[in-house]
Amino acid sequence: MHELLDRCVSQLRLARLIEALSRFGAREDGGVDRQAMGEADIAAREFLVDRAAALGCTAMLDESGNLFLRRAGVAASAAAAPARPAPSSSIDAVAPPLTGLAPAVATGSHVDSQPAGGRLDGAWGICAGLEAIAALNEAGIVTRDPIEVIVWANEEGCRFAPGSLGAQAFVEPARLPALLDARDRDGVRYGDCVAALHRRMPLPPRAPGSGLKLFIEAHIEQGPVLEQREVPIGIVSGVQGVRWLRIAAQGQAAHAGTTPLAFRRDAMRACVELMQRLYGHAEQVPQLRLTVGSIDVAPGSINTVPGDAAFTLDLRHADAAQLDACERLVGEYCSSSRHGCRMTVERLMALPTTRFDAGLQQSLRASASELGLPTLDMLSGAFHDALHVARLCPTAMLFVPSRDGLSHNPAEHTDIELLHAGTRVLAQTLLRLAGTA
């Protein structure tokens, strides 16, 4: 442990930065509404560029809107990003991105939010990274490798789909044109927002996939496990596999008063029976997370037997075999007519379990241990930018507890002492990995 660095990680400065960032898109209820590429999101980025500049960092912006705030290292000082601005006329006229950037020890997360989001989801990871840099500065430490705080674009996915659009485009540039074509509900094109962002923030460009040695994302847990176990630091071993299904029953609408049960083809009933079986199955499988989050029923009238019903199923488990078993149960139920209804299953998404880099997990664990902070190895149930970055370079994640497990909610909260603890672990780990000059 670097004791001087640890003493320089300031709880007060961290709290003030979180507070300052939360003013962008602030809601009256204490939460934030900072949807991707909206004015609050862009203003928050401008604020972060200024804050990083004050810490001696340079900024870069890539073609999908990711923002990179870089503290130079010794090994990289010759290749650090210059102050040359990108042309402001058009995204197409941007100068070729710089190559040969020294690979950075990177951290970061996102600052976009849900419409009724909290002030910590994503934002804390950005603030923790900048506080780590501030502490390194205060301690007078020069690192071998550059250190970077990355503000990934459009993580939430609530305005433009998919979520983690920026991280996905950075990792897989072949998908960039399709991703830039994403549109919000009003028909606004994501690529046009990025072009406007470049005109407003004329920063040097960054080539996709370039300049990263490794990535560590600090994030609130967004679940109840750390709080329940009273452990301050989660070492995230990976992200559990996910399957999204849509299950539909097609029967026949009928009058609720005139149609005896034996004559019905009740789509609601066919769906409810399957749901009940699934809930029962989930009780038998440890760690399985099974959610029926939405259901559509037509015609949806109190006195009409539903002719159509369809519900979504979100399945998560670290073991693909358990997800397979659950899908088999659904498939078996839907393979024959149920209560006179034709059943169909559509798989909307399937993501395998991601395992984070074991060495980076060990580095995080070692830092926490040296600081006397207990840790818990855990899987992430939520998606994060790190899930995608893991395909590009060694990646890991660090969690701090979420009060009541709440997130995507203005009431989202983590005590500042815990946010400070997580930031201390992050700072030590970044230094450990970036090395001293």
Asked if 48 interacts with a second copy (CB under 8 A), we say: no
Q: Is 43 near a second copy (CB under 8 A)?
A: no
Q: Is 382 in the site for a second copy (CB under 8 A)?
A: yes
Show the tokens assigned to 185: 């509900």
Q: Figure out which of the listed residues 225, 329, 350, 376 binds a second copy, where binding follows CB under 8 A.
A: 225
CB of 269 to a second copy, least distance (A): 6
The smaller minimum CB distance to a second copy, of residues 288 and 431, is found at 288
Tell me how many residues contact a second copy (CB under 8 A): 59
Which 271-310 residues touch a second copy, going by CB under 8 A?
A: 272-273, 275-276, 279, 282-283, 287-295, 297, 300-306
Residue in 255, 328, 347, 391 binding a second copy, rule: CB under 8 A: 255
Distance CA 282, CA 359 (A): 33
**Judged by CB under 8 A, does residue 408 bind a second copy?**
yes
Give yes or no for residue 406 binding a second copy (CB under 8 A): yes
- Under the binding rule (CB under 8 A), the answer on residue 65 touching a second copy is no
352 Ramachandran zone, left/alpha/beta (phi>0; psi -120 to 50): beta
Q: Who contacts 296 (Cβ-Cβ below 8 Å, separation ≥6)?
A: 308, 309, 310, 311
Query: In terms of CB distance, is 41 or 412 closer to a second copy?
Result: 412
**Rule CB under 8 A: is residue 222 a binding residue for a second copy?**
yes
Cβ closest to a second copy, residue 132 vs residue 267: 267
Contact 314, 347 (CB under 8 A): no
At closest approach, how far in Å is the CB of 121 from a second copy? 10
Stretch of 45-53, 96-104, 407-415, 417-425 contacting a second copy, by CB under 8 A: 407-415
Q: Which residues pair with 316 in a beta bridge?
A: 242, 289
Q: Which stretch binds a second copy (CB under 8 A): 83-91, 185-193, 218-226, 330-338?
A: 218-226
For a second copy, which is the closer residue by CB, 375 or 407?
A: 407
Q: How far is the CB of 94 from a second copy (least distance, A)?
A: 35
Check residue 253 for interaction with a second copy (CB under 8 A): yes
Verify binding: residue 260, a second copy, rule CB under 8 A: yes
Query: Where does this chain touch a second copy (CB under 8 A) — which range of 10-18, 176-184, 269-277, 413-421?
Result: 269-277
Nearer residue to a second copy within complex by CB, 291 or 362: 291
Applying CB under 8 A, does 352 fall inside the site for a second copy?
A: no
Options 161, 320, 348, 358; binder of a second copy; rule CB under 8 A: 348
The values of phi and psi at residue 325, to 5°, are: -60, -40
Q: What's the CA gap between 192 and 158, in Å, rounded?
A: 17
**Residues paired with residue 150 on neighbouring β-strands, in sequence order:** 68, 108
In the structure encoding, which two tokens stand for residue 395, read together?
Answer: 């990646």
Q: Which is nearer to a second copy, 279 or 352 (CB)?
A: 279
Give residues with Cβ within 8 angstroms of 45, minimum separation 6: 67, 111, 151, 197, 201
Residues that bind a second copy (CB under 8 A): 221-225, 228, 240, 242, 244, 253-261, 263, 266, 268-269, 272-273, 275-276, 279, 282-283, 287-295, 297, 300-306, 312, 314, 316, 348, 380-383, 405-409
